[in-house]
Amino acid sequence: MDTAYIAILSLVFLFLLHFLVGHVGNGEDKSAQTLPPSPPSVPFLGHLHLVKAPFHHALIRLAARHGPVFSLRMGSRPAVVVSSPELARECFTEHDVTFANRPRFPSLRLIAYDGAMLSTSSYGPYWRNLRRVAALQLLSAHRVACMSGAIAAEVRAMARRMSHAAAASPGGAARVELKRRLFEVSLSVLMETIARTKTSRTEADDDTDMSPEANEFKQIVDALVPNLSAANMWDYLPVLRWFDVFGARDKLKDAISKRHEFLGRLIDAERRRLDDGTDGEKKSMIAVLLDLQKTEPEVYTDTVITALCAMISYHDKLCYYIISCSVQLTLTASLILLFVMKNLFGAGTETTSTTTEWAMSLLLNHPEALRKAQAEIDAVVGTSRLLTVDDVPRLSYLHCVITETLRLYPGAPLLLPHESATDCKVGGYDVPAGTMLLVNVYAIHRDPAVWEEPLEFRPERFEDGKAEGKLMMPFGMGRRKCPGETLALRTVGLVLGTLIQCFDWNTVDGGEVDMSESGGLTIPRAVPLEAMCKPRPAMRDVLQQL
């Protein structure tokens, strides 16, 4: 009898919580609103029981039943999901200012310096100032041009190391895990650009796939990334934070502490260099920010500088987050906060390496496209030198390969979440203020009503402007679009083009590459890509001179 009584009280308690979550603090009469359709919910959890990994696939299944706009309740947080090009345009044009805010998740306080990062800060004067600094100081045309030399040098070093590894392997072909190689390239470029320092790899380390610094930072990123996605229940259910039965808070704090130490070393070294008067004309990003700190110390605090560096570095986890997105936050922003960590130092490295890894996976499964890209490079660049950043704009088919890769595997399949600042209407439905907006870019890019054979890898669909007018938004849209798009595309083009120009590629076992996806804010491969690379005979002399 006592057991039955306790069970009844527990059910009553859960339904009371359900009522309070949905009604407390909201004085509006919801019966007068026309809210987007919604699947059945359960007390307390709302729709969290429907959250499956990868989350963007779960949302596609829900959209098939409830339409291109539907609502969810993620624990105590209301959300609306948009899955069509028309509705995405509506959100980021007609309602761009309304959805310019970011949700304030508890994990954000830990990862994004309490919202100090560009990609996670609320829309307003502070965000506008950071955006101005990013556009004028960190990602200006001059700054991007200064980055080109560092990018090219690291790409050449990667090609040299892979060539040496192949020469020392049976049959002259090396088995390489591309993600680790690509991650180090991204991180090395970021360290050179942000702090004018390099990883400590020496020529004796050419047989290893990562430097000590790259390995250290990759461990930090790997610890943060699993916690960064819209499906992170830790941010929706306070009870999980209160009890923290799995030790998530301690693991997160440990990874954030290591990240802070890593970036702190770079900032301290650059400050000493400035104090000694040895910085020179070519200033690093940190040097630029430290100069701004001297004139506006109350604005450019050490926390803001560290947050900007973290944002830049995280963006690449588009992987391990694309260098261009780095400034927006992305990679790291995506990592732990459910969407926030991707902006950090890890984000930049994640995006570039992940996009390039997906592109190589697709090319290995479509060797005719690989041969076509290789032939274009031979015709435009030749085989007597490595391609350069200046060559990339002239490689139209390579650009089509990258664009098609971003269509099929956008770095952030749900973008970073937005939040409505005021009431508005989307698709004819009412969306109350404080509602989280999730835009399923993955679904929009694969919409069969827009794209012919949307699941097929067909770079040719972008040739000669044939896809003009079709919505592509791998870097977002509207005023919170990633400001590093140009740099990201340039970097991916140089890295991918060099891999294609210098080596012949095959799968490890001769079969097709498994294209299974993993979950998170970004869209990493479920299994890191391993492939066999062999220096092309036509490029052997060039590689030997590196």
The string of DSSP letters for 405-430 reads: HHHHS-SSTT-S-EE-SS-EEETTEE
Domains in the chain: boundaries: 104-401+481-544
DSSP annotation of 427: T
pLDDT for 268: 83
- For the record, the structure tokens of 240 come out as 């999980």
Residue 482, annotated ligand binder? yes
pLDDT for 350: 58
The residue type found at 462 is F
Closest CA to 177 of 150, 229, 215: 215
- In the structure, what pLDDT confidence band is assigned to residue 152 with cuts at 50, 70 and 90? confident
Q: Which residues pair with 504 in a beta bridge?
A: 534
- For the record, the structure tokens of 417 come out as 């979440």
Closest CA to 237 of 386, 487, 58, 49: 49
d(CA 481, CA 131): 11
Which burial class, exposed, middle or buried, applies to 341 when counting CB atoms under 10 A from its CB (0-12, 13-18, 19+)? buried
Could you tell me the fold of the domain covering 104-401+481-544? Answer: Cytochrome p450 (1.10.630)
Between 161-165, 235-239, 474-478, the lowest mean confidence (pLDDT) is in 235-239
Q: Which residues fall within 8 angstroms of residue 318, CB to CB, at 6 or more apart?
A: 325, 330, 331, 342, 347, 350, 351, 352, 354, 355, 411, 412, 488, 522
Mean pLDDT value of segment 233-240: 60
Alpha helices in 366-465 (DSSP H): 367-380, 396-408, 441-445
Closest CA to 218 of 99, 321, 361, 87: 321
The interaxial angle of helices 396-408 and 345-365, nearest 10 deg, is: 110
Residue 39 and residue 66 in contact, taking contact as beta carbons nearer than 8 Å: yes
d(CA 27, CA 50): 28
Place of tokens 């502490």: 257
Kindly report the backbone phi and psi dihedral angles of residue 410, in degrees, each rounded to the nearest multiple of 5, phi listed first: -60, 140
- In the structure, what pLDDT confidence band is assigned to residue 446 with cuts at 50, 70 and 90? very high
- In the structure, what pLDDT confidence band is assigned to residue 33 with cuts at 50, 70 and 90? confident
Closest CA to 87 of 377, 471, 435: 471
d(CA 103, CA 434): 8
pLDDT for 327: 27
d(CA 343, CA 216): 18
Mean pLDDT value of segment 426-436: 96
- In the structure, what pLDDT confidence band is assigned to residue 314 with cuts at 50, 70 and 90? very low
Average pLDDT of every residue of the chain = 79
Residue 352 and residue 524 in contact, taking contact as beta carbons nearer than 8 Å: no
Mean pLDDT value of segment 434-453: 97
341-342 and 429-431: which strand pairing? unpaired
Q: How many CB atoms lie within 10 A of CB 84?
A: 21
Q: How many CB atoms lie within 10 A of CB 471?
A: 16
Residue 45 and residue 405 in contact, taking contact as beta carbons nearer than 8 Å: no
d(CA 521, CA 341): 9
54 cis-preceded (ω within 30 degrees of 0): yes
3-state secondary structure at position 161 = helix
The residue type found at 280 is G
d(CA 270, CA 167): 39
- In the structure, what pLDDT confidence band is assigned to residue 445 with cuts at 50, 70 and 90? very high
Overall size of the chain counted in residues: 546
Mean pLDDT value of segment 32-54: 87
User: Which of 169-178, 212-221, 322-331 has the largest mean confidence?
Assistant: 169-178
**pLDDT tens digits, residue range 497-531?**
999 999 999 999 989 999 999 876 778 899 999 99
pLDDT for 324: 26
- The residue that leads in pLDDT, 341 or 400, is 400
